[in-house]
Amino acid sequence: MTEDQNHIAAELGIDPHFDVSAEITRRTQFLMDYARRAVAGSLVLGISGGVDSSVAGRLCQIAAEHLRSSGMQVRFIAMRLPYGEQADHADAQRALTFIDPDETLEIDIKPAADAMLAQLKAGGLKFNDQWQEDFLLGNIKARQRMIAQYAVAGATNGLVVGTDHAAEAVMGFFTKFGDGGFDLSPLGGLTKRRVRSMALALGGDEKLAHKVPTADLETMRPLRPDEAALGVSYDEIDDFLEGKQVAPPSAEVILQTYRRTAHKRALPAVPARQRAA
C-alpha cells in the first residue's frame, strides 16, 4: 500500500477487514440509532434499480421494522424518481420487490427539470454545445431528486438517506447538493465490491448485485456505464482503496481525480479566522 492509498483509505473510513454479516448489523444499527436520536418519522430514499440504493433501501426497511417493534413510529418511504420513462424501469421494480418498503412514492422529475432548463435558456444562458447542455441537465435531474426527497422528509418529519460510498467519494462521482445532499449515509466507507457482497448477503440475486453501475443522467446517452465516464474500473478503484496494487496509469487517474474533487467532500469554503494580535 502506498502512502497515498493509506491516507485516502483513512480519510474515507475504509476498514481493513470486512465481514459482510457484521457490516449489515452495524450499518442497520447506525440507521436505527440515528433515527431514534432524531425522533424521525420516516427514512426517505430514492430507488433507481441500481445496487447502491437497493442495499441502502433494504437496510432502511430492516431498520424501520426493528424500530417499530420497539415501539417507535417510523416508516421507510422508497421514492421512485424517474425522468419520464426510465430505460431500466424493470430493474427498479425488481429492486422494490427486494426492498419491500413500507411505502412507495413515484414522482416524475421530468416536468420540473425541463422547466428549469427552459427558464435558464429563456433567461439568456447559452451552452457551449448540446453535450454540455445535456450534461448540465443531468445535474439538474440529480438536484431535482434531492428537492423531491427533502419535500417528503419535510412532510413526514423524516430524514433523507444517501447512497454515497468510498468508491464514488474518492472520485467525486456525484452531483454536489444533488445525490450528494442527504442527512445520513449507511454505505459510507464501503468499496463497490463490498456493497455488492452486502446485496447478495441480504438476499438479492446476482442480477441485482452485479448490475452495471450507471448514473443514467444524460438524456443523449441513456444508461451510460459509470466506468465509461470515470476512465477506470470499479475493480481498480476498489483495489486502490483496499490497499492492493493498481497499474500506475490507473492509480494516477484515481489520485488526480481525488485531488481535483476535494471540494465535493468538504464543507463550503469560508474565510479563515483572523490571527489573534
Ligand X SMILES: Nc1ncnc2c1ncn2[C@@H]1O[C@H](COP(=O)(O)OP(=O)(O)OC[C@H]2O[C@@H]([n+]3cccc(C(=O)O)c3)[C@H](O)[C@@H]2O)[C@@H](O)[C@H]1O
Ligand Y SMILES: Nc1ncnc2c1ncn2[C@@H]1O[C@H](COP(=O)(O)OP(=O)(O)OP(=O)(O)O)[C@@H](O)[C@H]1O
- What is the nearest approach in angstroms of ligand Y to the Cβ of residue 274? 40
With respect to ligand X, which residue has the nearer C-beta, 93 or 132?
A: 132
Q: How far is the CB of 8 from ligand X (least distance, A)?
A: 18
The beta strands (E) that lie in 130-175 are given as: 158-160
Q: Is 139 in the site for ligand X (CB under 6 A)?
A: yes
48 binds ligand Y (CB under 6 A): yes
Catalytic residues: 52, 168
Does residue 50 have a known ligand-binding role?
A: yes
CB 247 within 8 A of CB 236: yes
**Minimum CB distance to ligand Y smaller for 111 or for 274:** 111
3-state secondary structure of 117: helix
Which residue type occupies 203? Answer: G
Is position 45 an interface residue for ligand Y (rule: CB under 6 A)?
Answer: yes
Q: Is 50 in the site for Mg ion (CB under 5 A)?
A: yes
Q: What does 81 interact with, of ligand Y, ligand X, Mg ion, none (CB < 5 to 8 A by kind)?
A: ligand Y
Note the Cα 219 to chain centre separation in Å. Answer: 20
C-alpha cell at 72: 417507535
Across the strands, what pairs with 160? Answer: 44
Residue 111 CB: number of other CB atoms within 10 A?
A: 12
CA max distance for the chain? 64
Dist. CA 204–CA 217, nearest whole Å? 25
Q: Site size for ligand Y, by CB under 6 A?
A: 19
In terms of C-beta density within 10 A (0-12 exposed, 13-18 middle, 19 or more buried), how is residue 81 classed?
buried
State yes or no: residue 94 binds ligand Y (CB under 6 A). no
Binding partner selected for residue 176 from ligand X, ligand Y, Mg ion, none, CB under the kind-specific 5 to 8 Å limit: ligand X
Q: Can you say which residues are annotated as belonging to the binding site for Mg(2+)?
A: 52, 168
Binding positions for deamido-NAD(+) are 143, 176, 183, 263-264
Interface with ligand Y (CB under 6 A)? 45-48, 50-53, 79-82, 86, 145, 163, 179, 213-215
